[in-house]
Structure 1
């Protein structure tokens, strides 16, 4: 779920993408890879994804609005990756419009594992400290030409009409409690200091996990393999990223996550109050998705965690 996605039906694609087209693009631009095995993986809100051999993936925007997001990834992920302690999908090669396809596209690494949205919150607690380390490294001052995003990393007051209207129209039993938490965020001090790099959408479905190192009892807890989908990459208030600790974790994981970031010099007490309000925004959106969507359960869990904190 990228920043611009309301809860509701996935937008229609404005271009047809199939295996034949992807083969043609590869043959024209990267013929040395065109003979690899190719298989459809996913057709998301913004991009179609095809697996290319055992270790690569082809990511192709399916609508015009996603083209600029992909260009941001092509430009900035190679810059950010060496600074981060968790793998991210740095483009291996780029692709230009051609063969009747109007957008840029990219070849990226394939990360073995599964979406963190498919494992339990208790299992996700196991990577809380490592995800915090990812944010500690990411949340540093960004250059002036960092991407701008109208709905991530921005002051909460600019989102008030949209989020308040959605909550007031909601049939969620938790509506009043969520509105109270949103109001606390609105009343909190705004972000001060430099604009920090912000992932924009680091919910559990954009985190890849797999078995971690075995402990003394021979158990292999869930480990953090990669953080993916930087289409909403921007700079601003880090609270919009930190919100996801209510979506990923239980009380224990959230305590570990926040503890690992307690001394971050560019955060303030108001950061976590704003983060909780951002979590209200995300959780209410996700809980309204169809039950079959993996983010529905993430949203329901997030609402429960928020009300525990209230």
Structure 2
């Protein structure tokens, strides 16, 4: 398990703390085992509770609002989606030992997919497109605005700052050219729709090579859903991207914006997590490589 802190304001969380929180607040579960869940996640720590549940605790203050967000919206979204999503069971309270709310969910079976060992890339691409389409079809009225549901231009400053930090590590000139092409594409016009906003391999679970579940809806909300195309570059091989794009009927301008989103996220992640989250840093390098190898 990761021993290095990823954030300056990260809370101290371990099995002892989780045992204590569960025993104090949910004594009917006090006899269950607690085991850390290995994850590349950056905002929350997860611990398996017995065989059928998982405890999820924010690592940082910026992740705290996601607890109430998921507890409110996951039950409303679940009925409309083609694969399982986390089912909230109970909400934990802050204590002197741990300052924020936390949550307990039903355990979902599956493994995070690996870009180098996908058993059925085309089938997975079809499943991902079906999930994105179903989420977009959910009634957006009253839905919360997603932080990433905004025009790509709003990420220009942090993206260029990340490019400056990566001089000598990647082909900055080529990456800048791809980024600037994405910025030149007209913004999306149309009503806000639902998006997951963080479709990374660490938030997907596969079973026998197909999509088994989608987790971590803390960033989900409504707006421009282009960001959900990032999975075409952070997970799918070039041979399966066309399947994903065709099933979603993505036009050229939207595809270019989606590629820009994937590149921007990877550029910002790489210098931040280079030494603290090797899985996420490796995926960021993968995305950059995929985008620059096939920028069409």
TM-score range, shorter chain: 0.7 to 0.9
Structure 2 partner of 1:197 = 194
Structure 1 partner of 2:282 = 297
* 2:144 counterpart (125, 146, 151): 146
Please give the alpha-carbon distance, in whole angstroms, between the structure 1 residues aligned to 2:51 and 2:220.
27
Please give the alpha-carbon distance, in whole angstroms, between the structure 2 residues aligned to 1:203 and 1:57.
20
Count of matched residue positions in the alignment of Structure 1 and Structure 2: 287
* 1:278 counterpart (261, 268, 276): 261
Q: Please state how far the C-alpha of 1:180 moved relative to its aligned partner.
A: 1.5
Do 1:280 and 1:303's aligned partners in 2 also have CA atoms closer than 8 Å? yes
Do 1:239 and 1:274's aligned partners in 2 also have CA atoms closer than 8 Å? yes
Matches within 5 A, 1:1-310: 10-42=6-38, 44-98=41-95, 100-117=97-114, 119-120=116-117, 124-140=121-137, 141-149=139-147, 152-171=148-167, 172-211=169-208, 222-262=209-249, 269-288=252-271, 289-290=273-274, 293-307=278-292, 308-310=294-296
CA, structure 1 residues 125+12, in 2 after alignment: closer, same or farther (shift >3 Å)? farther
CA, structure 1 residues 19+126, in 2 after alignment: closer, same or farther (shift >3 Å)? same
TM-score where L is the length of structure 2: 0.87
Please give the alpha-carbon distance, in whole angstroms, between the structure 2 residues aligned to 1:273 and 1:254.
13
Do 2:143 and 2:222's aligned partners in 1 also have CA atoms closer than 8 Å? no
Do 1:87 and 1:226's aligned partners in 2 also have CA atoms closer than 8 Å? yes
Q: Please state how far the C-alpha of 1:123 moved relative to its aligned partner.
A: 5.1
TM-score where L is the length of structure 1: 0.83
Do 2:120 and 2:210's aligned partners in 1 also have CA atoms closer than 8 Å? no
Do 1:117 and 1:295's aligned partners in 2 also have CA atoms closer than 8 Å? no
Shifted more, 156-165 versus 296-305: the winner is 296-305
Q: Secondary structure, in 3 states, of the residue corresponding to 2:211?
A: strand
Do 2:53 and 2:105's aligned partners in 1 also have CA atoms closer than 8 Å? yes
Q: Please state how far the C-alpha of 1:279 moved relative to its aligned partner.
A: 1.4
Q: Secondary structure, in 3 states, of the residue corresponding to 2:63?
A: helix
Q: Which runs of 5+ in 2 are unaligned?
A: none
Q: Which runs of 5+ in 1 are unaligned?
A: 1-7, 212-221
**Coordinate RMSD, CA, aligned:** 2.5
Please give the alpha-carbon distance, in whole angstroms, between the structure 2 residues aligned to 1:147 and 1:24.
35
Do 2:115 and 2:235's aligned partners in 1 also have CA atoms closer than 8 Å? no
Do 2:85 and 2:214's aligned partners in 1 also have CA atoms closer than 8 Å? yes
Do 2:89 and 2:105's aligned partners in 1 also have CA atoms closer than 8 Å? yes
